[in-house]
Amino acid sequence: MQRSEFEPGHYVRHPQKPEWGLGQVQSAIGRRVTVTFENAGKVVIDTDVVALQITEVS
């Protein structure tokens, strides 16, 4: 199993879906990342298809 660059707790944004708002990674296994977004709820993202952007929260 390959290691993901994302870890639970990371904050991310979906570059094609800015209306989803800020998301927090819940789990990351290989290329599948489960994220809970402010305005879209829980979504499973394939990082081979979508380049999630890690975001700093202030």
For residue 7, the model assigns a pLDDT of: 94
- For residue 34, the tally of other CB atoms under 10 A from its CB is 17
For residue 48, the model assigns a pLDDT of: 94
- 43-58 pLDDT, tens digit each: 999 999 999 999 988 7
Place of tokens 């993202």: 45
pTM (global) more than 0.85: yes
- 4-29 pLDDT, tens digit each: 789 999 999 999 999 999 999 999 99
Residue 32 clears pLDDT 90, i.e. is over it: yes
Specify the pairing of strand 41-46 against strand 11-13. unpaired
Mean local confidence (pLDDT), 28-35: 95
